[in-house]
Structure 1
Amino acid sequence: MRYSLRQLEVFLACAHHENVSRAAESLNMSQSAASTALKEFEQQFDLRLFERTGKRLRLNELGRQLWPRAEELLERARELEATLMVHSDLGRLKIGATLTIGNYLAAGIMARYMEEQPEARVELEVANTAAIAQGVVNFELDLGLIEGELNHPDLEMIPWREDEQVVFCAPDHPLAQRAQLSDEDLRGATWILRETGSGTRQTFERALAGLLPELNIRLELQHTEAIKRAVEAGLGISCLSRVSLTDAFRRGALVELPVPQRDFSREFYFVLHRQKYRSAGIERWLELCQQVQ
C-alpha cells in the first residue's frame, strides 16, 4: 500500500483546520512531521489536494472528492482497532443535538448506550440546527439529532419522531385565562423567542406565516430554560416544544395558550452525511433513539 493511515489523518486534519500547524497540534505531532506527511502523500500519487494561500490550506476539487472517502476509511480502521482492543466496545461517538433534544431527550439515550457499553465514549455537542448540520457536513459529528428541516446535498434526513410546539405564558399573565388566542391576540402580545437559525424558531415562523412582520418580539434567547424563566417573570409569552414544558405545566409555573387556527406540529430528524460510514455504534444509537417514547 502506497499510503498510510497516518497520512490520511494528516490530510483530514488539514482539511478541517485549513492550517498545518493547527492540524499538527490536533494530532499531537510536530508541524514539520505533519507537513512532511502531507507532502509525501501528495507526491506519492503526483497530485495536489489543497490550494495554498500563505499559511492557509483550502481543499481543491480533487481534495473535496477524496475527503468523505478518507473519512469513511479511517472510521472503519478505528472501528477495527476498537474491536481488537475491546471486543464488546462500540467505540466513540460524537453526537450533535439541538437544544430541546439535547436537554430533554439525549441524556437518557446516552445513559442507555453507555450502560450497554461501559467502555464506550460519547461526546454530546448541544447547539442549534444550523450548527449541528454544519458539524455533520464537516465530519466533525457522526450524527445529528435536529428539530428543523433543511436541504443539503451532502446530508440525509431521516424522520425520527413527531413533536409539537406550544404557546405559553405565566399564570398571572393577562392572556392566561383565555380559552384560546386569536390572531389579534398574537399580534398584540410581547414575544420572547429562540434565535434565528434554531429549529424551534423555524417552526414558529412557519406556523405564524403572515403575522411575523406585525409581531412584537422583545427578546431573542439561545437557551430554552432562559426563555422559560423570562416568561415566568412576566416579560412576555413564548413558543417552545411541549417536551421542554411538561414539568413546568405540571407544577403550574407556566400555562398553555391554545392557538387552534395555527399548526405548530413538526418532526425531529436524524441527520447523517451521505458518505459517512455507519459504524455499529451509530446503528445502535439510532435503535435506542427509536425506542424512546
Structure 2
Amino acid sequence: MKFTLRQLDVFLETARAQNISRAAEALHLSQSAASSALKELEKMYDIQLFDRLGKRLVLNDFGRAIKPRAQALLDQARELEQDLLQRSDIGALKVGATLTIGNYLAVGILTRYRQAHKDADVALEVANTSQIVEKLVNFDLDIGMIEGELNHPELELIPWRQDALVVFCAPDHPWAGKPWLSDEDVLAADWILREPGSGTRQTFDRAMHGLLAGMKSPLELQHTEAIKRAVEAGLGLGCLSNLCMEDAFRRGSLVPIPVPQRAFDRQFYLVLHRNKFRSRAIAQWIAYC
C-alpha cells in the first residue's frame, strides 16, 4: 500500500474546502505540506482527483467515486487509533437535524449523550431536509435526523418515530372553533407555510394533493416560530408538527382546526451515507435516539 492516511486526510479536507490553503489550515499543516501530499498521491497512481477552476479545486468524477471509501477508511483508522491508545473517549460526531427535530427533539438527545460521554466532541447543525441531505452526501455530517421522505441511492434511511402535522389558526380567527375544514375552506384560506425543501412542506403538499393548483400562493417562512407569530397576528392559517404546537395550544395563543379528510401523518428518519463507517459514536447516538 503506497498511499498514507495523511494523504487521504488532505484529499478529503481539500474536497470539503475546495481550496488547498483552507484544507491546510483545517489540518494544521503548512500550505506547501498539504499541496505536496495531494500532488504525491496523484503522481503515485498517475491520476487526477480534482478539476482546477481558478483557486477552487472541485472533485472530478474519479475523485467523487473514491471519496466515500477514503472517508470510511480514515474513520476506521481513527477509531483503531483510539483503541490502540486505550482511550475511552468515543470520538467526534457531526449530527444534522431538520428544524422541527433540531428545535424539539435533538437537544434532549444531545443532553443525554453528553451526560453519558462528558468529553464527547459533538456538533449539531440544524437546517432543512434538502440541506441536511446534501451535507450527508458530501460527508460533512456523520448522521442526519430528518422529517422528510427521500430516495437517494447513496443514503440509508432508518425509520425512527411517528409524527403528524396539525392545521391551526389564531383564537380570534373566524374559523376558530370550526368543527373541521372542508376542501373548499382549504382553497379559500390564506396560508403561512414552511419553505420548499423542508420536510414539513413536503408532508403538507402531499396531504393537499389535488388541491395545490387551486390554493392561494402561501407566505413562506423558514422558521416555525416566525410562522406561529404570523398566524397569531391573523395573517392566515399555519400547518406545523404537533411537536411545535403543544405549548401554544396549551396556552391558547393558537388553536387547532381538524382537516379529517387529509392525511398529515409522517415518519421521522435517521439517515446515514451507505459507505459511512459506523463508529462507536454513531452507534451510541442511534441508541440514544
The TM-score with structure 1 as length reference comes to 0.94
- Specify the alignment match of 1:97 in structure 2: 97
Alpha-carbon separation, structure 2, partners of 1:91 and 1:72:
15
AA paired with 2:120? A
Alpha-carbon separation, structure 1, partners of 2:55 and 2:74:
26
After superposition, what is the alpha-carbon deviation per residue over 1:124-176, rounded to whole angstroms, capped at 9, x for unaligned? 00000000000000000000000111111111111111110000011111111
1:47 CA displacement = 2.3
- Specify the alignment match of 1:220 in structure 2: 220
Regions of 4+ moved over 4 Å: 83-86
Alpha-carbon separation, structure 2, partners of 1:105 and 1:13:
30
- Specify the alignment match of 2:155 in structure 1: 155
AA paired with 1:54? G
AA paired with 1:245? M
Deviates more, 1:82-91 or 1:277-286: 82-91
Counting aligned pairs with the same residue, the percent is 63
- Specify the alignment match of 1:258 in structure 2: 258
- Specify the alignment match of 1:193 in structure 2: 193
AA paired with 2:223? H
CA contact under 8 A between 1:192 and 1:231: conserved in structure 2? yes
Alpha-carbon separation, structure 1, partners of 2:98 and 2:212:
23
AA paired with 2:207? A
CA contact under 8 A between 1:156 and 1:274: conserved in structure 2? yes
- Specify the alignment match of 2:64 in structure 1: 64
CA contact under 8 A between 1:192 and 1:217: conserved in structure 2? no
Report how many aligned residue pairs link the two structures: 289
1:215 CA displacement = 1.8
CA contact under 8 A between 1:88 and 1:117: conserved in structure 2? no
Give the unaligned 5+ runs of structure 1. Answer: none
- Specify the alignment match of 1:167 in structure 2: 167
AA paired with 1:238? G
User: How do 1:18-37 and structure 2 match up within 5 A?
Assistant: 18-37=18-37
Alpha-carbon separation, structure 1, partners of 2:183 and 2:38:
60
AA paired with 2:55? K
Alignment partner of 1:210 is 2:210: yes
CA contact under 8 A between 1:191 and 1:236: conserved in structure 2? yes
Deviates more, 1:20-29 or 1:172-181: 20-29
CA contact under 8 A between 1:129 and 1:147: conserved in structure 2? yes
Q: 1:41 to 1:253 in 2, by over 3 A?
A: same
Deviates more, 1:167-176 or 1:16-25: 16-25
Alignment partner of 1:112 is 2:99: no
CA contact under 8 A between 1:83 and 1:89: conserved in structure 2? no
- Specify the alignment match of 1:288 in structure 2: 288
After superposition, what is the alpha-carbon deviation per residue over 1:228-278, rounded to whole angstroms, capped at 9, x for unaligned? 111112111110000111111111111110000000011001111000001
AA paired with 1:270? L
Alpha-carbon separation, structure 1, partners of 2:51 and 2:106:
40
User: How do 1:270-281 and structure 2 match up within 5 A?
Assistant: 270-281=270-281
Give the unaligned 5+ runs of structure 2. Answer: none
Alpha-carbon separation, structure 2, partners of 1:46 and 1:10:
17
1:218 CA displacement = 4.3
Alpha-carbon separation, structure 1, partners of 2:280 and 2:84:
14
Alpha-carbon separation, structure 1, partners of 2:84 and 2:179:
62
Alpha-carbon separation, structure 2, partners of 1:120 and 1:135:
21
Alpha-carbon separation, structure 1, partners of 2:106 and 2:13:
28
User: How do 1:71-90 and structure 2 match up within 5 A?
Assistant: 71-84=71-84, 87-90=87-90
